[in-house]
Structure 1
Amino acid sequence: MSEPIVIAVPKGRILEEALPLLARAGVVPEPAFGDEKSRALRFRTDREGIELIRVRAFDVATFVAHGAAQLGIVGSDVLAEFDYAELYAPVDLNIGHCRLSVAEPVDMAAGDDPRGWSHVRVATKYPHVTAQHFARRGVQAECIKLNGAMELAPTLGLASRIVDLVSSGRTLKENGLVEVERLMDVSARLIVNRAAMKTRAHVFPLVEAFRAAVAA
């Protein structure tokens, strides 16, 4: 193989859950991948012609959609936000489970009913998904794009509500917020560049290896 197949994997929690799946699919990264002090972003694996890149979760979809990587692992929340036509998501990896939800201050929630909303101002990393969700409900949504520290928005008056990923709910609780509405359930998916699926002979066997790894 003249050009390696590149698999984009996200930093953080999903990666920890993905590593055993990668191993069961026959892809084990070089030892340097586990070095927390390393600044490297591209790594060899024990399979000749297969490499890994480690990038931010939101960037996984972009690398794969534009063909810089042929496969990737990313949450269904990211897929919904970007909705790239170039991506195919053939395998639900059954890891990274959480949900995308609306949260607001506890005091506000005590007398609030989401069914009565007509206009909301929310801070979120997911303006596209958020606007679509509220449009389906006939609610006008003003979305303020933030990349992190969402929980600060209500306390500092930036937005009264947030839309963010929720797992245990601990972060919300520690910041005086409570979950009041769920937009979608989230899990990690294997994604593939559609063109690579058709033109790179080694991509399809990798997809099937991941499918078998999940089933195992």
Structure 2
Amino acid sequence: MSKPLTIAMPKGRIFEEAAVLMEKAGYDLTGGMDETRKLIIHFPDQNLNIMMAKPMDVVTYVEYGAADIGIAGKDVLLEQDRDVHEVLDLKISPCYISVAGLPDQPLSRIAPKIATKYPNVASHYFREQGEQIEVIPLNGSIELAPLIGLADRIVDIVSTGRTLHENGLVEYEKITDVTSRLIVNPVSYRLKSKEIDIMVQNLGRIIEEEEVS
């Protein structure tokens, strides 16, 4: 038997949706997932290892070969621009990246301040709009920034928009849609191409069936 495929999976909502998709494709990840404190879970009968990671770290593990495959949000891929192959849109955990701020709040004329955990995405977007901005990196509670006058706008992930609404913020522009993607380490793709292609085909078939239904 060949060496097991190691898959880096993000904790939380994406993992839950990905596990359902994987099960439909013939990969049952439920047995052993009750051991929630384990970071690496072995499934020898399926020749798989699952590595549990923070969503922002999945791409790093795949790029450096610690994992053969990973599941990462398109937002992370856009922000980090890592050397990995994006092979399949899993169509799960849909959301989008948006520009938001206080209602009727004009941008500062000189270097508007943009608070975000996506500095590269924000810089690229505003550069395309012809705006020179000052990025203020934040990791949590981005909505605070315009409320306390720290920033003119925020660039953040939006799912339902409820958090923005409850904090009196409005969306100004939608930057891009986001779903979770299957990514592969380039070396692994060469060495384990058969196993990886089978998984991609199985998942792709399920995604197509669900889109039709």
Fold similarity call, TM over 0.5 = yes
CA contact (8 A) 2:97 2:177 kept: yes
The alignment partner of 1:99 has SS state of: strand
Q: Does 1:14 align with 2:8?
A: no
Matches of 2:105 and 2:50, distance apart in 1 = 49
Of stretches 40-49 and 143-152 in structure 1, the one that deviates more from structure 2 is 40-49
2:70 paired residue number: 72
Gaps of at least 5 residues in structure 2 are: none
Q: What RMSD over aligned residues (CA atoms) do the two structures have, in Å?
A: 2.0
Q: Does 1:197 align with 2:189?
A: yes
The alignment partner of 1:31 has SS state of: coil
Return closer, same or farther for 1:143/1:150 CA change in 2, 3 Å cut-off.
same
Letter in 1 for 2:69: L
Deviation at 1:48, TM superposition (A): 3.3
User: How many residues of Structure 1 are paired with residues of Structure 2 in the alignment?
Assistant: 208
Matches of 2:67 and 2:76, distance apart in 1 = 16
Return closer, same or farther for 1:79/1:70 CA change in 2, 3 Å cut-off.
same
Q: For 1:174, which of 166, 169, 174 is the aligned residue?
A: 166
Percent of residue pairs bearing the same amino acid type: 41
Q: Taking structure 1 as the reference length, what is the TM-score of the superposition?
A: 0.88
- 1:153-202 Cα offsets, whole Å, 9 max, x none, are 22233223211000110011112211111111111111111111111142
- 1:33-55 Cα offsets, whole Å, 9 max, x none, are 145xx321111236432111111
1:110 paired residue number: 104
Letter in 2 for 1:9: M
Letter in 2 for 1:5: L
Q: Does 1:98 align with 2:92?
A: no
Matches of 1:157 and 1:47, distance apart in 2 = 56
Gaps of at least 5 residues in structure 1 are: none
1:144 paired residue number: 136
- 1:38-80 Cα offsets, whole Å, 9 max, x none, are 3211112364321111111111111111111111111111111
Q: For 2:41, which of 31, 43, 58 is the aligned residue?
A: 43
1:162 paired residue number: 154
Matches of 2:28 and 2:44, distance apart in 1 = 6
